């Protein structure tokens, strides 16, 4: 039987996981080699260490505010829409989580909009992740 999410705030389950970045609890929510695909990197991040590095980098000061507005669950997939501010500019996007048969997250697809924010976010992320992930995945960091 599927969990009743009608009374939960949209994104609360995902937010609880993301807020544990940098800890063993974060790693425990994922399969051995989860994949993160995002509009702010040049390619996918693979493995819990790389995914964790991404969320540690974005958790501190990247977003001025972030609020999940909609959550839809369909089998192994969770679709989240969100909005907020980053660098004082409006931002929005979608996060798609795919879980394996045991409930562990095997992939995350994270999309930001508008383009101006994608470019600024990517540049700042490149600065924060320099030396922590493959530099070919990072946007330009002057």
89, 121 in Cβ contact below 8 A? no
Segment 110-136, tens digit of pLDDT: 999 999 999 999 999 998 898 888 887
**How many domains is the chain built from?**
1
pTM of structure: 0.87
Residue 3 lies in a domain: no
Segment 56-72, tens digit of pLDDT: 998 777 899 999 999 99
3-state DSSP assignment of residue 3:
coil
Residue 121 lies in a domain: yes
Residue 2 lies in a domain: no
Element at 7 (helix H, strand E): none
CATH code for position 39: 3.10.450.50
39, 112 in Cβ contact below 8 A? yes
Residue 39 lies in a domain: yes
């Amino acid at each position: 039987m599927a969990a009743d999410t009608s009374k939960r705030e949209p994104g609360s389950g995902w937010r609880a996981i993301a807020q544990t970045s940098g800890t063993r609890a974060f790693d425990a929510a994922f399969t051995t080699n989860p994949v993160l695909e995002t509009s702010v990197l040049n390619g996918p991040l693979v493995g819990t260490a790389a995914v964790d590095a991404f969320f540690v980098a974005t958790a501190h000061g990247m977003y001025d505010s972030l609020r999940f507005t909609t959550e839809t669950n369909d089998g192994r997939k969770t679709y989240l829409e969100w909005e907020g501010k980053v660098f004082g500019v409006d931002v929005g996007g979608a996060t798609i989580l795919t879980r394996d048969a045991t409930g562990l997250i095997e992939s995350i697809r994270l999309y930001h909009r508008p383009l101006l924010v994608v470019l600024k976010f990517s540049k700042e992320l490149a600065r924060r992740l320099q030396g922590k992930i493959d530099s070919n995945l990072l946007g330009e960091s002057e």
